Amino acid sequence: MTPRTLSPITRRLGVTPRIRALAGCVPHGTRVFADVGTNHAILPIAVLRAQRAQHCIATDDSEPALADALRRLRRVRCTEQVELRHGDGLGPLGADDFDVLCIAGLGPRTMVGILERGWSRLLDRRVRLVLNPFGGSEVPRAFLAANGCTLHADLTIAERGRSYTILVADTLRATPG
């Protein structure tokens, strides 16, 4: 990929320390980054600006959120680099569509439910998981351990008087627990 200069992201787009930390968990050279529950596509934009991925897929089950995401993508001129898909969980993603999968800003049980329902898309290949549960990390942590994932990072990010956990793991040859 030839790096393209993207328009600056303004504060109005919500690039926070948590978003920067999530983007920083995406390895350089990632072919496709998938953001499940993207909401406003702020994270995929940050990943592209950091030149971590060549392409992004942003999914959400909310049509209004995707409409807002499209407006933001147009504003920063990266509609060609971020593909928006409507649907629940991993449903809009094909088995080989992505190298890195992020689920951020959801409750821990919701997050694990998404992973359980789409686990077959993660088997027999290496997928980097970037998880940012709101409300506790014990349930996602237990899911990762039970399913043979390798935990690479366990980060705590402080933002606006709160602490957020980010778990980074690989699924190589993981099997359901």
As a whole number of angstroms, the distance between CA 146 and CA 112 comes to: 12
As a whole number of angstroms, the distance between CA 15 and CA 24 comes to: 12
Contact 43, 104 (CB under 8 A): yes
Contact 86, 63 (CB under 8 A): yes
Tens digit of each residue's pLDDT (9 = 90 or more) over 51-94? 999 999 999 999 999 999 999 999 999 999 999 999 999 999 99
Contact 45, 112 (CB under 8 A): no
pLDDT of residue 123: 80
The label of the residue with tokens 């629940």 reads 88
DSSP annotation string for 94-122: -TTS-SEEEEEEE-HHHHHHHHHHHGGGG
pLDDT of residue 24: 97
Query: What domains are there in the chain, each with its CATH number?
Result: 11-170 (3.40.50.150)
